[in-house]
Every structure is written in structure tokens, then in C-alpha cells.
């Protein structure tokens, strides 16, 4: 569930980052990609917090002697699966940025 929320939250944040910063784009000259990366950084931070809470609950249950909870060694590959997902999300954010008309960005200020 947390991985799906990483994808949807990242896609929403990167899509809305340019529209929400319309007045900033008009006043300051900087690369617009910085807005996309900062939006995705916020979503990644939230994902890490959520994952830490879930992992702490799993660890607590795994320490109980009668829980029956076993962790497979393949769990070490989960961070490797998150890299392509994050790159896909940022890539779709870049694609949605190119579909956003510049008049919609400037209209928001």
C-alpha cells in the first residue's frame, strides 16, 4: 500500500508543482525541473517515514515468540524495486509538465 501511495503521491505532486508555483516562475529565473525534484523529494520523505512506522510494527510483531511472522531474505530487494518506480514517477511528471500549457501556469498568480 505504501508503494502505491509513493507512486500516486509523487505523480500528483509533480503534476501540480508547476501550476502551484506559477507566480514564482514568473518572478525568478530558475530551472523548472527543480520544482519537480523538490515535489518528489517531499513525497519520498513521507514514504520513508511511513515505511519506518510499518517496519517498526513488523519488527515488534516478529519479536513476539508466538507471532509466526517470518521475513524472507528477498526483502533486501525492495529498495532496488523502488528506484525504477521513483524514476517512472519523475519521468511521468516531466511528461505531464510538457503537456501543461504555459498560460495555465501563469494564470495562477
Distance CA(99)–CA(67), nearest Å, equals: 50
Least confident piece of the model among 23-27, 39-43, 67-71, 97-101: 97-101
Distance CA(76)–CA(70), nearest Å, equals: 14
pTM: 0.76
Distance CA(5)–CA(9), nearest Å, equals: 6
* Nearest C-alpha neighbor of 85 from the set 39, 21, 40: 40
The average pLDDT across 31-36 equals 85
Q: In the chain, what are the domain boundaries?
A: 2-107
Amino acid at each position: 500500500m505504501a508503494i502505491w501511495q509513493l507512486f500516486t503521491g509523487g505523480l500528483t505532486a509533480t503534476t501540480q508543482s508547476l501550476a502551484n508555483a506559477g507566480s514564482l516562475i514568473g518572478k525568478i529565473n530558475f530551472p523548472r525541473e527543480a520544482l519537480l525534484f523538490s515535489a518528489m523529494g517531499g513525497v519520498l520523505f513521507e514514504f520513508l517515514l511511513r515505511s519506518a512506522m510499518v517496519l517498526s510494527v513488523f519488527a515488534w510483531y516478529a519479536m513476539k515468540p508466538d507471532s509466526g511472522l517470518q521475513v524472507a531474505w528477498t526483502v533486501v530487494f525492495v529498495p532496488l524495486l523502488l528506484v525504477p518506480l521513483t524514476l517512472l514517477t519523475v519521468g511521468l511528471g516531466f511528461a505531464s509538465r510538457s503537456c501543461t500549457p504555459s498560460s495555465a501556469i501563469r494564470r495562477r498568480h
